[in-house]
Structure 1
């Protein structure tokens, strides 16, 4: 956390505690300049389905959109609202997931929690629970949440990377993020940005769209979109941010590869090379060489969700520095020999396809020895096609080897 995080938190808690007490006194509360509040679609103006909610929950709404409307909540799911305030989004979520589901609200402001719990009691909602805590340190276990929502709260955090990393941690494989937030135009003049943030109440600062995308990728989300909804002030916009965590086989989490994984990644790499049919290489590279060659946003590991052991990895490299090939990468995928047949390689390939398509990469390619029938079938199932066979292209263990050249052309990225 940044050094001044505690001070920032205290300021935010005091500010929203004051607003919560005003709402409890049946006052209409506004968290930014009135004109921006109305023009930006803040508060209850963003909702169309509040008729059966307690008046206090509607009155205390301070968001910049309606994340529930885009979260695609399904009956029986578990949903978490980061920065739940007076509880409007939790109550709407509880209605959508039904009695078999559950809606959590997390807030750091005791007065807001008191208000939200009173609103839930008035609404008769029995499938809700409000938690006291910080969105940078979510007090829930790993991989237990289907959907995370948040309404104009992440811009208030002094450690936004930590917030998104925590969201990724508590989501189940395949879990979804659907949040409303305020974003800034890329390249906005700092003084203009600060003034606009002051007008809309974003006292800790907004993220530009490019910054948001980079942080979502770094956290491990492989698909993400940012859709602007309404202008909030000069250079700022209300936006809906959607993202998803990679799916994985039971007991496995797919997450970003880090330097801490180096030893396990290279051991798995070497085990694959020792099989004789993985690559022309015979010795795994150093971590420094591996790290230089692989694209940061497109290297993922499959890890055991109980022990953290890395059991497989996938990574991509650029095929050329020429701009015409900017959307073409070459990949490698390896699974620990003790963990074959569990669907791990399939899940890793899916994660790579998602992360590359999200940033506009249109072709993934590779070369496979024809003797490696398992890998050829795996890639065929993942949508790769055989381009052709390069005969006697190189010598491996003192004999000439053919290579089957395969590629997957995206139907999404580069389609137009």
Structure 2
């Protein structure tokens, strides 16, 4: 048996999924309301012992958070899979007339029309589309902004950041109907994954059971073992092992996904309609350099990169396989020697999830040196 990932009394299963925060708000099931407009702090707030600047920023922070939580209404399809959004039938076209070329530093706007599997235009929003402007020959790319107009159409906007050819690519990540399924699961289910709890007795006997923050999701036929996370004080549970006591837990690790969907839900979330590229609706465009200047990139003067700088949307783009930040002047380290030169004399602390782990593995495999 492999060694467990954690030691008892340190992390609960809830902390294994890093950097994910779930917000549960008591609102009607249909949708989350539109974010309120920012309003100034009240006069009484200025008499508080809290920092006035902190209090003044709370309405804006609340509005930002509410805006992030907002998603357009997603009416149910009443079991009709053909009424869900189709990546094959949805189309997009330029908002304005086609031009021979487009100016570097400008914007390209596109109208997307969502259609169901019968080819009928959708009359409500809520689909999760992602759009990119790509320059395959230039190894370039930038994400586009997708604005849901909540009537079955979407406005896509792309900054034109390099001179040369570019083409629009749109993907349907989830239909509005699938989003509704995911929202219902988020609302109704306390857990969607389980964990493995590892127990070891004084004689070396080992037993493995299912653990979860939801005691019913442990599958226990009898008693459960109860534990408390040392950081959050939240309770989590394991099915009691057949012979070993609860205090013989030596660790736990991630397990598997729980069965939380119906066959109809699974069809809406199926790979055939998930993360699919829409048929190309626009021919590649040509982006011309500005009349003044000879730069092939739309990069204005930027300060040196440092922690705390606000990032625009998008925060940058790729060109010739190099990332260019739009809000600070970043440097590129393309060789092992340049990476070593940057890291020399520094202590770097990394904290994150599996994405950061991939970066660490790349660094470890790229830079030849002694790693701890």
TM-score normalized by structure 1? 0.19
Question: Higher helix share goes to which structure?
Answer: 1
RCO greater where, 1 or 2, for CA within 8 Å and sep 6 or more?
2
